[in-house]
Each structure stands twice: as structure tokens, then as C-alpha cells.
Amino acid sequence: MRRALIVVSLAALVLPASAFAHASLVRGYPAFRERLAQSPREIVLRFDQSVTALPHSIVVLTPDGKNVAAPARAVPAKNAIVAHLPKLPRGPYTVRWQAMSNDGHVVSGVYTFGVRVRAPLVTDAVGAQGPTRTEDLVRWAYFLGLALVVGGTGFLLIVVRDPLPARAERRFYWVTGIGAVVVLETGIVAFLLRAEDALQLPFGRFLYGDLSPISGGTRFGLAFITMELGFAFVTALLYLAWLTGKRVLLWPVFLAGLCFASGLSLSGHSAADAGHSWLSELADWVHLSAATLWIGGLVQLVAVVWPAAPELRRTAFLRFSRLATVLVALLLVAGTYLSVLRLPHVHDLWTTGYGHVLLLKLGLVALALLWGAAHHFLAVPRLERVSLEHDRVAGKLSRSLLGESAVAMAVLLVAAVLVDSKPPAQPVPRAPAAIQVERP
């Protein structure tokens, strides 16, 4: 039953308009995110079959939430519904529509347009509330899944390098496999939550909502589709490596995972906010990749190497300690650059909500760095002396690694909240003052 529900949900997601043969919006005027030079006289929505107009079939909302559209009427000859508009002043507008198709289902949708201004994203449509705490938790799970599959695979290939005992190898594939499934499932949940917020529909009608403005008209939607397909490929390769026992297949898993993770950087603040550039997108991807490798490596040490491969503890810990030093440096450099880019003023750290979350993240990162420094300067020298001493510190070190992993999970959670937070507005550059020339 659960598998059937998942299949039905995916079908409704991929083919939202045709999965149950209900009406589908073909085109509208004004079009999705169209910028008009003058006010339109009416809203015209054309469908692929005849539809019945409902009360409030077309609602055109101003930024303050006022509906300016007249009652809609159906035009059966053109499979359309039409609503007259008064002369609209300059500004952005949100269109929310609904109609009954021949099969009795009510189809709905939302899009935006602008009159002499740029139209907002559909995820910023009037009525949408923006990211919620549920979305923060889902994004945290997504980050954790990335760390498990991409960071875990990188740990095995770059740090361990040696063959794993059979028990440890099973644990490795279980941990990375869980990470891959988490990425796929939470990616779908994140998309559905964002779409539900934009459409503002109850669940029963949400299944028949038009998701195309979100899936194809936003960076978030395009990144979702690309990353879902990409990580489905990554998961297939990971499963094939497990079945065949060929470690060489893990290299494309690792490299493709890093590549597709860039979708988060290409659809977030670093790609959409004022001042963004290819450098900000690259810095965001480096920041994400370094965090993924660091946290994924910690989980592998705690969940795979320590309990199932005691003979590899010393080697793996020493190698990971050296890699972690490089990863921390990348985290600090990329994170500092992004913080300076997103905070116009230093006082934004303690006067804005975004700054408060960033301060909390910085505090947790500092704690994690101190923890890692203790490992590097205290535990590593002891492990490098003699292997016998390794047995005496193994128990304490395992608990310490578990604590560092917990702090790393907290960093991921705060990072998820930070990603969904809105940075303070960038100052508008002033036009240069005119130079007055005195006439003789």
C-alpha cells in the first residue's frame, strides 16, 4: 500500500495535469512572469479541454492582497475562462485560478506578472508564507543525506583507500545507501512543501494543482528536477557497486554526487541575491562540498570504522585528520567570503534575523573547530607514537568523535535554517551627483 501511494504521488508530481485526465492549463494572458508595458484589459486562461468557471475562478491580487479581477466567465468555444480587469497601476500582480474539468476535479494554479516592473517568483506570490520550520527540518535531512552518501563515499576513496573487512563494508553500503534514499525522498518532500505554500491549497486539491510554474519557472524547481534525476543515477551506481563488489564504481558516485550537489548553490542566495556572480556560486559549492566531506567522514569513523574495522582505526583517523585540516580551511575561506557578501554592514550580525542565525552557526563551527583541534594536537601525536597506545585511547576517542559528530549535525541544522532565511537588503547605490560648472 505504501509503495502504491509513493508511485501515485510521483506520477502526480511528474504529470500533474494529465495523470488523471483532468484539464490542464495550456497558456494564459498575461503569461507566466510576463512584464507588460501597459495594463492588460482582461485575464485569459486557455485549457486543453472545456472547463466550468467557479466562484473566484480568477483572482488577481495586488501586493497588499486586494483582488482587482471581475467575476470570471467561461468561454466554451475556446476552452477558456476570462475575467475583466480595471486599469492596473504599475506593480507586480499574483494570479490565482481554479476551474472544474470534465472529470469533476477542480484544477488550480498560481502565477505572477508585472505591469512595467519585473514579476516576482511564483514562490513569492501573494499569500505564500515562505519557508517554515518543517522545511528547515527537511532541508537539514537533505544536507545530512548528502553528507552520508557523498561524504561517506569520499571518505572511503580518499581516506581509507584500503579494502574494508566484510562487516565494515556492509555497514558502509548501508550508511551511504540510507543517505542516497534520504536525498531522493527529502528532495521530493521539499519540493511539495514549497509548491503547497505557493499554491495555498488543501491536500485534496493540491494533487490536481498546476506545478509547472514552480518546476519549470524557478531556479528551485529546475534544481529539484536536475538533482532528483542526478541522485537517482548516483543511487543506481551505488547499488551496482554493492552488488558487483567493484569499488571503481564508487568514483563516479562520488564525483557525480559532488557535481549534482552544485544545484543547491545554483538555486540559492549565492545565485539569486544582489551581488551574486559565478564566484559566489563557486564559493557556496566549495563551502557545501567541504562540509559534506567533513561530516560524512566523521559519520564513517563513528558508524563504520570504529565498530567494524578496529585494525583500520589508527590509519583512518590519522589520514582523516590531515584531510579535515584542508576541509576546515576551505570552510573558513568560503564561509567568510559569503558572509561578507551577504551582510552589507557589520552591525547586521546582531540587528537582523539572518545575522542572529549566522552568529549561532559561527559559534557552533568554532566549537567544532576547537574539538577538531584537540583531536589534531592531542590525539594524533599519541596515535603516531606506538600502536599499543592506540588501544588505551580508542574508547575515549570514539566518544569524542561521537560528540564532534553531534556538533556537526547541529551545524547542519543551523545551516538549513540559514539557507531559508532572507539576508538583509543590499544598499541601493546612489547616482553620482551632477557636477555644476560655473559659467563666466
pLDDT digits (tens, 9 = 90+) for 29-53: 999 999 999 999 999 999 988 888 8
Identify the helix (H) or strand (E) that includes residue 57: strand 52-61
- Name the residue type at position 58: I
Most confident of 143-152, 364-373, 389-398: 143-152
The pLDDT of residue 17 is above 60: no
User: How confident is the model over 4-32, as a mean pLDDT?
Assistant: 61
Q: Which three cell numbers stand for residue 359?
A: 552568529
Between 116 and 212, whose confidence is greater?
116
d(Cα 183, Cα 145) in Å, to the nearest integer? Answer: 5
CATH code of 23-122, in short, is 2.60.40.1220
pLDDT of residue 214: 82
Q: Give residue-wise pLDDT tens across range 206-238.
A: 778 888 888 877 888 888 899 999 999 999 999
CA count, 13 A, side-chain hemisphere, 232: 9
Count other Cβ atoms within 10 Å, centred on residue 198. 27
Residue 88: pLDDT band with limits 50, 70, 90: very high
User: How confident is the model over 232-249, as a mean pLDDT?
Assistant: 93
d(Cα 359, Cα 421) in Å, to the nearest integer? Answer: 13
The pLDDT of residue 431 is above 50: no
Residue 61: pLDDT band with limits 50, 70, 90: very high
The pLDDT of residue 439 is above 60: no
Most confident of 100-114, 125-139, 154-168, 314-328: 154-168
Residue 13: pLDDT band with limits 50, 70, 90: very low
Q: Which three cell numbers stand for residue 149?
A: 552518501
Range in 124-128, 146-150, 239-243 with the lowest mean pLDDT: 124-128
Average pLDDT of every residue of the chain: 82
- Name the residue type at position 32: F
The pLDDT of residue 271 is above 80: no
Range in 12-16, 43-47, 305-309, 311-315 with the lowest mean pLDDT: 12-16
Residue 350: pLDDT band with limits 50, 70, 90: confident
| Fold observed for domain 133-420 | Formate dehydrogenase/DMSO reductase fold (1.20.1630)
Closest CA to 290 of 335, 260, 247: 335
pLDDT of residue 15: 45
What SS3 class is residue 356?
helix
Distance (Å) of CA 212 to CA 81, 227, 230, 232: 19, 17, 20, 21
Beta bridge partners of 48: none
Main-chain phi, psi angles of 171, to 5 degrees: -65, -40
Main-chain phi, psi angles of 16, to 5 degrees: -65, -25
Closest CA to 303 of 393, 153, 174: 174
> Any residues with CB less than 8 A from the CB of 340 and at least 6 apart, and which?
none
The pLDDT of residue 396 is above 80: no
Helix runs in 200-277, H state only: 203-206, 212-215, 219-244, 250-267, 269-272
d(Cα 68, Cα 95) in Å, to the nearest integer? Answer: 10
- Angle at the Cα of 86 (from 82 to 90), degrees rounded to 5? 115
Residue 274: pLDDT band with limits 50, 70, 90: low
d(Cα 175, Cα 304) in Å, to the nearest integer? Answer: 8
Q: Give residue-wise pLDDT tens across range 152-163.
A: 999 999 999 888
pLDDT of residue 7: 44
Range in 40-49, 243-252, 312-321 with the lowest mean pLDDT: 312-321
Q: Which three cell numbers stand for residue 153?
A: 563515499
Q: Which three cell numbers stand for residue 82?
A: 476570462
- Provide the percentage of residues in the chain whose pLDDT is more than 90: 35
What SS3 class is residue 75?
strand
Strand 106-115 relative to strand 35-36, pairing = parallel
pLDDT of residue 419: 72
User: How confident is the model over 175-189, as a mean pLDDT?
Assistant: 94
Q: Which three cell numbers stand for residue 351?
A: 540587528
pLDDT of residue 379: 67
Is residue 89 within 8 Å of 101, Cβ to Cβ? Answer: no
Between 378 and 1, whose confidence is greater?
378
DSSP string, 108-145: EEEEEEEESSPPPPGGG-TT-----HHHHHHHHHHHHH
Is residue 69 within 8 Å of 86, Cβ to Cβ? Answer: no
**φ/ψ bin of 334: left (φ > 0), alpha (ψ from -120 to 50), beta (otherwise):** alpha
Distance (Å) of CA 153 to CA 181, 238, 241, 320, 327: 15, 9, 11, 13, 16
Instruction: Cite the residue boundaries of each domain of the chain with CATH code 2.60.40.1220.
Output: 23-122
The pLDDT of residue 186 is above 70: yes
Between 340 and 191, whose confidence is greater?
191
Instruction: Cite the residue boundaries of each domain of the chain with CATH code 1.20.1630.
Output: 133-420
Residue 20: pLDDT band with limits 50, 70, 90: very low
> Any residues with CB less than 8 A from the CB of 211 and at least 6 apart, and which?
13, 16, 195, 199, 221
- Name the residue type at position 381: P
**φ/ψ bin of 45: left (φ > 0), alpha (ψ from -120 to 50), beta (otherwise):** beta
Range in 21-30, 37-46, 356-365 with the lowest mean pLDDT: 356-365
User: How confident is the model over 283-288, as a mean pLDDT?
Assistant: 89
pLDDT of residue 242: 93
d(Cα 423, Cα 402) in Å, to the nearest integer? Answer: 33
User: How confident is the model over 322-350, as a mean pLDDT?
Assistant: 81
pLDDT of residue 382: 67
